Chain A
Amino acid sequence: MNEIPTPASIGLSREDLPNSYIGRSVPRPSLPKLVQGRATYTDDVVLPRMLHAAFLRSPHAHARILAIRIEAALAVPGVVRVFTGADLAKVCDPWVAVLDHLKGMKSAPQHPLPLDRATWQGEAVVAVLADTRAAAEDGVAAIEVDWDPLPAQTDMETALDAGTVVIHPELGDNLVFTRTATKGDVDAAFAAAHKVVEATFVTGRHTGVTLEPRSIIADYNRADGMLTVHQATQAPHMMQNVFAKHLRLEESQVRVICKDVGGSFGIKVHVYPDEVAVAAMARVLGRPVKFIADRFESFASDIHARDHRIKARMAVNADGTIIGFDVDDLTGIGPYSVYPRTSAMEGNQVVNLVGGPYDFAHYRCTTRVVLQNKAPTCQYRAVGHPIATAVTEGLVEMAARELGMDALDLRRRNMIRDDAYPFTSPPGMRFEGLSHHASLDKLLEMVPVARIRADQAEQRAIGVHRGLGFAAFIELTNPSPFMYGIGGARISAQDGCTVRMDPDGSVVASSGVTEQGQGTEAILAQIVAHGVGVPVERVKIITGDTLNTPYGGGTWACRGAGIGGEAALQSALALKAQILEVAGAMLQAAPESLDIVMGHITDRASGAQRMSLHELGRIVYFRGDTLPRDLPRELVQTRHFITKEYPFAFTNGIQACWAEVDTDTGMVKLLEHWVVEDCGRVVNPLLVDEQVRGGVVQGLGGALYEHCVYDERGNLLTTTMADYLVPMSAEMPDIHVGHVETPTKESLLGAKGAGEAGTAGAPGALMNAINDALAPLGARVLEQPFTPARILAALGRI
């Protein structure tokens, strides 16, 4: 395992070894079209006879639908058809988003449009189809609905109380899922501990705000019975299954095409009722229907996330040894668990991940997942990680403060030793190999702690309050079927890649993983070029088409490089072996004496070029008569890959945040940020660094600004980008990124995931930085986002 030759392993610089693309910062081949405005996002696709959908959305958090009057809408010029929930129920079966392995989980059946009751403000209730989006919106404005408003359940703290509104009476209560993980004897250990620190943390409900909104065009062709769906999605094969299953088609009748996608972050890996409605309407009408969410619709109907209240305690000995954690997590997920991944995963991840970097004996963590009349929540970048990390690292810095210890010393004392692997954590997570100590060492090479502390003291003397905060974390990547498959969901954990050589010696690879900006296609091209032995410019990548790619899971949970990348490498190596067999026959040489370097067959010993792939292609495709009769000459190979040893490939890292708090205004200024992460083999350092930076900023956004604010009646108050603030360039710091590489031994490539590390650690590091700044003033903040009002309140200023 891991014997793939890299420049480093044979003592060359990365530039010295032709064809060695793994580990090299190759620019993404798809970037020129993006910077020139020549990409093709779903909204750029226009089909003949295409209709446009607009939805009437519930103005109430909870209301019975008494009557829907559509006559006036049908009279609007351009309006073609109006669909209600009852209309679509005739052609589309509802779904229930539960997974078998999440014991006791329950949720209610959900239709594309509700039949008689709306359960969150912004839920799509009636669909209007028209020649243009504008006409469809005019039609929506002309619909009259008689609503019977019902009391709304909006406070997760009271969701399980007697007498509360039960959102789906047939479920009996609002409890969707609960799980407790225990290890050791928490009560006895905490009673005997030298010190117990405790706090209640709150993470604010926020959302992905992909700049490209959710986008779909569904086109049903009655002649060939094919439903073709152009969709901005992370998981085309999953969506193929969903559309087929609920629209009563065979999977083979559904093709999902996903061209350029304008950001996803988990937002575009879920099944949205309005998008299923679009497919159902196209099926009924036999013509294409387009729906592009506008920004209001995005805020009101994209999945939200991170709506948690966490009561947590940590026990320590006098020497700083962590004895254990005792955590109670409560999360509100909206009125339905989201299909098919479910909305129980985030709470479940909190249970799995608290205390992650540390070796301790006693653990108890409970999550309770409850219903609310708010937009549904589900998996969003770094699912559960930023919550678990902020709780863990918040407690660690509190304990250090109380013990009078340096928080980094306390971490070092408790981090799992770098030579302790394999290691099973108290909640049962199995770690193949992590590098907490090496990562901390690397971070301290980057962060000038002494200089920062001196500056902090100097500034403090003149009334400027700066703080330095750290957060170590673990990250779950490369998921196996243990994530979804064992629960009964048809969500593939394996992925495939087909690599072929064309007559001109160029290579085409099609893969089941997908591209939404991470650079998936770029790393696949690098891996294939490396594996076959051609210049990376000679590789073309196909993703995002269920009819033309091997079956796979798509891109989510940081699986693109680790799973899709390994399938690409194995198929490329297989193609290389096949090419060499043909070349051996043509050159009268043993295949093992030959190599492929930069598109040429070479003599392995001397490096002399023997023949170009172009020439080999010419012979194979056009003069096959000259080759030995029984010589295999299929210049195409497919390999699939799935992890087998570990349910997940965990990664780790640590972040530091240096921030200034204005104690008069409550504003936080981000000064500088550092990250060290270990994602195993780095395929493209440039792309990994940029993934980490983007992830950090996304985490900082949730911790500082982003908040889906509801009033007590369930009205969403943040429906524009003027109300819901996102990080912009002027407020964001420079971010320094370093790496430690601990490749996974499960694959030849050795890659784990990198896309969520930044988001996992940033909120906790920032919280600790703010509280480091506030500590001498006797204040601290634990409720995200850390708004000026909350900081001033903590300071007793308001």
Chain B
Amino acid sequence: MMITLTVNGERVTRHVEPRRHLIDFLRLDLGLTGSHAGCEHGVCGACTVRVDGEIVRGCLVLAASLDGAEVTTIEGLTDSGEVADLQDQFVARNAAQCGFCTPGMVMAAADILAHHADADRAAIREHLAGNYCRCTGYQAIVEAVAATLSERAIHTSADAGRGDRTREARR
């Protein structure tokens, strides 16, 4: 069937087989290889992407169901600058080793930054518990997210007197 949707801000129209799941659609049909297929049964989180503002498992969503949807992948999230500070923290703390989980982990962490600004370390660990990382042991990832939250909190309180804050890039 034919679907038209927005991916990373660009409109795309493609013919998809009914069985095509979102992660294969992104990787194989659009060449967006930043999202990864890790388990293809919804456990590992490597395929985490954003659909209409919420993070989903790319392997559990059929592309055919996404006509009219707005999809953001790690490529789009990066280009927007929304998580540039988080990505800098990942680099500084070596919160990625092989990197295969990292795009999904960053998508999940972006969800914390967007919706749970007061998350403590335990809450961060809980929120990331659907994303499997074999390399790091998670601690550096948790610390990268916690450091980003506290940096943003400092900026937010500094900004408070100046009115509106946006979720745009704050490098």
Considering only residues 738-764 of chain A, those with a C-beta below 8 Å from chain B are 758
Considering only residues 205-226 of chain A, those with a C-beta below 8 Å from chain B are 208-213
Interface locus among B90-98, B149-157, B162-170: B90-98
Check A294/B138 contact, CB under 8 A, given A35-B96, A721-B132, A729-B128: no
Does A140 interact with chain B (Cβ within 8 Å)?
no
- As a 0/1 sequence over residues 26 to 60 of chain B, the CB contacts with chain A under 8 angstroms (1 = contact) are 01000001111111110110100000000000000
| Contact (Cβ within 8 A) B129 A728 | yes
| Contact (Cβ within 8 A) A211 B34 | no
**Which residues in A have their C-beta under 8 angstroms from that of B125?**
729-730, 732
**Which residues in B have their C-beta under 8 angstroms from that of A33?**
99
Q: How far is A211 from B133 in the complex, measured between Cα atoms in Å?
A: 7
Does B12 interact with chain A (Cβ within 8 Å)?
no
Question: Most B CB atoms within 10 A — which of A34, A37, A212?
Answer: A37
| Contact (Cβ within 8 A) A35 B138 | no
Does A149 interact with chain B (Cβ within 8 Å)?
no
**Which residues in A have their C-beta under 8 angstroms from that of B33?**
37, 40-41, 43-44
**Which residues in B have their C-beta under 8 angstroms from that of A31?**
90-91, 94, 96, 99
Q: How far is A517 from B100 in the complex, measured between Cα atoms in Å?
A: 9
B72 to chain A, nearest CB (A): 12
Does B71 interact with chain A (Cβ within 8 Å)?
no
| Contact (Cβ within 8 A) B19 A693 | no
| Contact (Cβ within 8 A) B92 A27 | yes
| Contact (Cβ within 8 A) B75 A37 | yes
| Contact (Cβ within 8 A) B134 A263 | yes
Does A320 interact with chain B (Cβ within 8 Å)?
no
Interface of B is mostly: loop
Check A519/B97 contact, CB under 8 A, given A27-B92, A35-B90: yes
A721 to chain B, nearest CB (A): 4
| Contact (Cβ within 8 A) B134 A34 | no
**Which residues in A have their C-beta under 8 angstroms from that of B135?**
263, 517, 694
Question: Most B CB atoms within 10 A — which of A31, A211, A722?
Answer: A211
**Which residues in A have their C-beta under 8 angstroms from that of B139?**
693, 732, 734-735
Does B106 interact with chain A (Cβ within 8 Å)?
yes
A672 to chain B, nearest CB (A): 11
| Contact (Cβ within 8 A) B96 A693 | no
Which one of A38, A213, A517, A722 lies within 8 Å of B97 (CB-CB)?
A: A517
Q: How far is A100 from B101 in the complex, measured between Cα atoms in Å?
A: 40
**Which residues in A have their C-beta under 8 angstroms from that of B73?**
37
A117 to chain B, nearest CB (A): 30
**Which residues in B have their C-beta under 8 angstroms from that of A305?**
none
Closest to A517 in B: B98
- As a 0/1 sequence over residues 1 to 43 of chain A, the CB contacts with chain B under 8 angstroms (1 = contact) are 0000000000000000000000000011001111111111101
| Contact (Cβ within 8 A) A134 B97 | no
B94 to chain A, nearest CB (A): 5
**Looking at chain A, what size class is its interface with the partner chain?**
35 or more
Closest to B136 in A: A694
| Contact (Cβ within 8 A) B87 A32 | yes
Give the A-B contact count at a CB cut-off of 8 A.
171
Does B137 interact with chain A (Cβ within 8 Å)?
yes
**Which residues in A have their C-beta under 8 angstroms from that of B130?**
728
| Contact (Cβ within 8 A) A260 B99 | yes
Does A166 interact with chain B (Cβ within 8 Å)?
no
Closest to B121 in A: A734
Check A210/B134 contact, CB under 8 A, given A34-B102, A517-B99: yes
**Which residues in B have their C-beta under 8 angstroms from that of A261?**
98
**Which residues in A have their C-beta under 8 angstroms from that of B19?**
134
Check A211/B141 contact, CB under 8 A, given A694-B136, A729-B128: no
- As a 0/1 sequence over residues 68 to 106 of chain B, the CB contacts with chain A under 8 angstroms (1 = contact) are 000001110010000000010011111011111111001
B145 to chain A, nearest CB (A): 10
- As a 0/1 sequence over residues 702 to 721 of chain A, the CB contacts with chain B under 8 angstroms (1 = contact) are 00000000000000000011
Considering only residues 29-81 of chain A, those with a C-beta below 8 Å from chain B are 31-41, 43-44
Closest to B122 in A: A730
Does B131 interact with chain A (Cβ within 8 Å)?
yes
**Which residues in A have their C-beta under 8 angstroms from that of B40?**
294-295
Q: How far is A599 from B135 in the complex, measured between Cα atoms in Å?
A: 34
Does A518 interact with chain B (Cβ within 8 Å)?
yes
Check A35/B133 contact, CB under 8 A, given A295-B38, A732-B138: no
Q: How far is A40 from B38 in the complex, measured between Cα atoms in Å?
A: 15
Which one of A43, A260, A698 lies within 8 Å of B134 (CB-CB)?
A: A698
Q: How far is A212 from B78 in the complex, measured between Cα atoms in Å?
A: 22
| Contact (Cβ within 8 A) B96 A211 | no
Does A686 interact with chain B (Cβ within 8 Å)?
yes
Sampled A-B contacts (23; CB under 8 Å): A28-B94, A34-B99, A36-B74, A36-B78, A36-B87, A37-B73, A37-B103, A40-B33, A211-B38, A211-B98, A211-B134, A213-B38, A262-B98, A263-B134, A295-B40, A519-B94, A693-B139, A698-B134, A721-B43, A722-B41, A728-B132, A729-B133, A734-B139
Chain A positions near chain B (C-beta within 8 angstroms): 27-28, 31-41, 43-44, 134, 208-213, 260-265, 294-295, 516-519, 686-687, 690, 693-698, 720-722, 726-732, 734-735, 758
